[in-house]
Structure 1
Amino acid sequence: MSDLLSIGASGLRAYSRALSTIGDNIANAQTPGYARRSLELHQAQAGSNMMLYRGAVNPGGVDISGISRSVDAWLIEDSRISGSDAERSATRLAWLERVEGALSNETNGISTALTKLYTTADQLTADPNNQTLRAQFLQAVDDVASGFRTAAGRLSDMAQGVEASAAAVTDAFNTDLAALEEINIGLRKARPGSTNQASLLDERDRLIDKLSAAAGVTASFDDRGTVTLRASASGDLLVGGGTVNPIAVSAAADGRLSYTIGGAPIPIATGALAGLSQAADHVADQRAALDTMASDFATQLNAAHQAGFDKAGNPGVALFSGASAATLTANALNPDQVAVADGGSSNGNMLAFAAMRGAGGPEDRWSGHLATQAQATASARAQDAAANTRADAAYAARSAVSEVDIDREAADLLRFQQAYSAAARTIQVARETMQTLLNSL
């Protein structure tokens, strides 16, 4: 009877633990990073058995081997790689869309101002002494300069925003590195197969997912589950052997970003930090291009205006001053100083202005610049869509293994409830049988 009692007692312990595990699964069905757990059970060794000998009859009950997590290492790694690429493309796209907005006519009005300037010049060819048209011409010049300053200011703010975002992501990355080392410490102390170990492994994987999304990483594990983490592009050690090596970010004068570990440069090719670096490069390129266009535009229009003569017959003066988009300013002129005439006619200089509207002129160059930016944004959008599609597929494959299926848990819950009842009934039968034997004495 003692064997029957021990079998029933082992069943109660095992199935009670199994029901608790199912309860954890159901409670954490929507918890990010939670991997489904199952209780590993095996037949207990009977009391009459020895290590090298098993009797013909061995009713030994059931023992608990530990808790296992439903994970697939290859699927996890694939989801991290694709997720890191998706994070890079999404971050880059977000900033390219902001650049497109900063350069748009709705934001700075440069396209409208250029059209107004040349339209007014055309109208002055027909009515060169019209003071209202002369004033409108000067207003258009001021609007163009103001538009360039607005665009330059927006791009400058954007460069600072990218730098601030990179600093924030870097700080969070380093915080997660330190947290991951704390998880390593806990895993070295955790009992294999325990609930505590499973919880630590879930948190370990969640942290690696975050770190991979921020900057590509590669992970290797020992038999205790502790992780050694390295930067995927360079192989630099980030976490391992009790060491944590944080990364640092710095910005050049033009806003371009660079990353270091212990003062040594480290390439980051994927993740949010890579996307921010690419965005910073793009913003810096756009700022340089905007300065070049503003300078060329001012030089071209100043030369054209200075080639004519104003209402008093004096040579035209420069319309603009400033050597960059941020400093481009319309000089203070009065309507009489607009150089409409040339040496041969009262409207000849404005006719020359009209000739600047063709290919290679300021309007054409600005339209081409906006088209190039739009193409870059469209390309980034297509890349982002492809990266997100792949990441979603990889995550779905990973989730199919790790996620909690409520229907399955409900079936297991019923199965182990019945098993628990059976174990309890076994103890009851053993007690009743023992009592009957005792009563018969």
Structure 2
Amino acid sequence: MASDLLSIAASGARAARGALDVTAQNIANASSEGYVRRSLRIEEVAASGGAGRIGDISLSGARIAEIRRNADAFLQGEVRRTSGDLERANTELRGLRNMESALEQSGVFSSIVEFEAALQQLAGDPVDPSRRAAVIGEATTLANKFNITASSFDAVGEGLQFEAEAQVSETNVIGGELARVNLRLTRAGAGSSDRAALLDQRDQLLERLASFTSISTTFEADGTVAVSLGASPPLGFVQGGTSGTMSSVEMADGTIGFSIDGQSVEPGSGSLAGAALGLAELATVRTRLDTIAATLAGVVNNAQAAGVSLDGSSGQPIFAGTTAAGLRVVMSEGAGLATAPAGASANSRDDANLGALRQSLAALDPAQQLSNVLFDVSSKVAGRNVTQSALETIASSARISLEQQSGVDLDTEAANLIRFQQAFQASGRAMQAASDIFNTLLGIGR
């Protein structure tokens, strides 16, 4: 009996010590990102039969059956989904804000207005050299402002492309890490502390991956996970101990495409989807800006060709280039401005051709066109702000729900610390009592 009591008490002490270790881990990692609270499942150890006790059940103490993670697969999935949607909105909004800043700060709108104002002043005295020089000066400033805007758009696109390429590289790193975690999970003991740590690592990697692109997961009984990326349809990325390779390619229009092992894939959500949306919008705005620059240059140059310059020669182009980035002034002197109609004599004060140019510009209204572009971008920024705020609230709620369910409550852990310490002390006293009984029996035998 004393021997049985001693072994029972010893098993209780081992179980209580294991519970204390788990509680200490919970307390130490209470603020660790991605840590999921652990708990122990302790079960009775029972044996049946024996000499003279066939069919009887003999209780032999307790043992640690399993270290459990207080994880909820549904809440984890919600956190991955909502964080992916939020990252998509954040990245797209950041790109739109940068586009808006590029349009506002370049000053191209005011330069168009100043150029038209210089033409209006020239109409008051079409042969005045200073007014002619002012028109050329404003034309040069206008071309420079278009160049600056195009350069700013290039910087926005390069920033989005660079971030996307870095995230694609990190996606491949995470895929490799998930494959290695899968292999280690197949070798980890069921219910062990090592297995719990591997599952924490697996879930952290999945959450990080979901911030880049939408993911689909299939979990096996041994904790390994198969991962597919993208949408419509998702493509396999991690299977067992192997992972695929994601790559990105920049298109001719500045947009970006993605593929997994050579198969095209749409990110669906996450920052890669946001980068794709931002670059697509940038390509549209860039095309509209190029159209404004090209049509403005075409109207001015066509008017020049229809008139004569100050010396009576045929008018020559003021602008060259068909894009905002390539627009430049090729006329060096104000005397080349063709203010007079074809056939007019040198130094003619007839400004009929200048009037026709001003009418053509008024019909084109490049300032209004540019204002429309800025208005559209600003409207999208305002709309995406609302969407981003809503998604941020949803993602925050999902995160709070997960932390409430799987996070560490220090008050609970403090109570457990006392409870398991008392259990350990009680087992120690039971061992001492068994030892005393055994010694007493030995003494009686003498």
* Residue matched to 2:98: 98
SS in 1 for 2:331: coil
- Please state if 1:387 is matched with 2:388: no
- Please state if 1:332 is matched with 2:331: yes
* Residue matched to 1:68: 68
Instruction: Tell whether the 8 Å contact from 1:82 to 1:391 is kept in structure 2 after alignment.
Output: yes
CA distance in 2, matches of 1:323, 1:118: 20
CA distance in 2, matches of 1:52, 1:189: 38
Aligned-residue offset at 1:114: 1.1
CA deviation vs aligned residue, 1:133-174 (integer Å, no higher than 9, x gap)? 322221110111111112222223333333332221111111
Instruction: Tell whether the 8 Å contact from 2:9 to 2:430 is kept in structure 1 after alignment.
Output: yes
* Residue matched to 1:424: 428
TM-score by length of 1: 0.92
Instruction: Tell whether the 8 Å contact from 1:357 to 1:364 is kept in structure 2 after alignment.
Output: no
Instruction: Tell whether the 8 Å contact from 1:201 to 1:225 is kept in structure 2 after alignment.
Output: yes
Residue of structure 2 aligned with 1:207, choices 199, 205, 208 = 205
Instruction: Tell whether the 8 Å contact from 1:21 to 1:38 is kept in structure 2 after alignment.
Output: yes
Instruction: Tell whether the 8 Å contact from 2:317 to 2:331 is kept in structure 1 after alignment.
Output: no
> Relative to structure 1, is the Cα distance of residues 426 and 46 closer, same or farther in structure 2, using a 3 angstrom cutoff?
farther
SS in 1 for 2:32: coil
SS in 1 for 2:227: strand
CA distance in 2, matches of 1:183, 1:265: 27
CA deviation vs aligned residue, 1:68-101 (integer Å, no higher than 9, x gap)? 0011111111111111111111111111211222
Aligned-residue offset at 1:243: 3.1
Give 2:439's aligned amino acid: Q
CA distance in 1, matches of 2:50, 2:29: 41
- Please state if 1:230 is matched with 2:228: yes
Give 1:23's aligned amino acid: A
* Residue matched to 2:256: 257
TM-score by length of 2: 0.91
CA distance in 1, matches of 2:264, 2:101: 33
Residue of structure 1 aligned with 2:167, choices 166, 169, 172 = 169
SS in 2 for 1:220: strand
SS in 2 for 1:332: coil
Instruction: Tell whether the 8 Å contact from 1:9 to 1:427 is kept in structure 2 after alignment.
Output: yes
> Relative to structure 1, is the Cα distance of residues 16 and 79 closer, same or farther in structure 2, using a 3 angstrom cutoff?
same
* Residue matched to 2:378: 374
Instruction: Tell whether the 8 Å contact from 1:319 to 1:330 is kept in structure 2 after alignment.
Output: yes
CA distance in 1, matches of 2:188, 2:161: 40
CA distance in 1, matches of 2:155, 2:406: 43
SS in 2 for 1:60: strand
CA distance in 2, matches of 1:334, 1:195: 82
CA deviation vs aligned residue, 1:377-422 (integer Å, no higher than 9, x gap)? 2222222222222111111111111111112111111111111111
SS in 1 for 2:173: helix
Q: What are the within-5 Å matches in structure 2 for residues 16-415 of structure 1?
A: 16-45=17-46, 53=55, 55=57, 59-104=59-104, 106=105, 108-233=106-231, 234-342=233-341, 346-355=350-359, 358=362, 360-415=364-419
Aligned-residue offset at 1:351: 4.4
CA deviation vs aligned residue, 1:289-324 (integer Å, no higher than 9, x gap)? 222111111112223344444433444332201122
CA distance in 1, matches of 2:122, 2:4: 112
> Relative to structure 1, is the Cα distance of residues 54 and 290 closer, same or farther in structure 2, using a 3 angstrom cutoff?
farther
Gaps of 5+ in 1: none
> Relative to structure 1, is the Cα distance of residues 141 and 382 closer, same or farther in structure 2, using a 3 angstrom cutoff?
same
> Relative to structure 1, is the Cα distance of residues 30 and 359 closer, same or farther in structure 2, using a 3 angstrom cutoff?
farther
Give 1:409's aligned amino acid: E
Give 2:81's aligned amino acid: I
Instruction: Tell whether the 8 Å contact from 2:48 to 2:54 is kept in structure 1 after alignment.
Output: no
How many residue pairs end up in the alignment? 437
SS in 2 for 1:317: coil
> Relative to structure 1, is the Cα distance of residues 4 and 110 closer, same or farther in structure 2, using a 3 angstrom cutoff?
same
Aligned-residue offset at 1:364: 1.0
Gaps of 5+ in 2: none
SS in 2 for 1:144: helix
Instruction: Tell whether the 8 Å contact from 1:357 to 1:363 is kept in structure 2 after alignment.
Output: no
Instruction: Tell whether the 8 Å contact from 2:103 to 2:374 is kept in structure 1 after alignment.
Output: yes
CA distance in 1, matches of 2:94, 2:130: 44
CA distance in 1, matches of 2:49, 2:129: 116
CA distance in 2, matches of 1:334, 1:99: 35
More moved, 269-278 vs 199-208: 269-278
More moved, 38-47 vs 147-156: 38-47
Instruction: Tell whether the 8 Å contact from 2:180 to 2:241 is kept in structure 1 after alignment.
Output: no
Instruction: Tell whether the 8 Å contact from 2:299 to 2:361 is kept in structure 1 after alignment.
Output: no
Give 2:194's aligned amino acid: N
CA distance in 2, matches of 1:88, 1:49: 67
CA distance in 1, matches of 2:28, 2:363: 67
Instruction: Tell whether the 8 Å contact from 1:47 to 1:60 is kept in structure 2 after alignment.
Output: no
More moved, 7-16 vs 309-318: 309-318
More moved, 181-190 vs 307-316: 307-316
Give 1:33's aligned amino acid: G
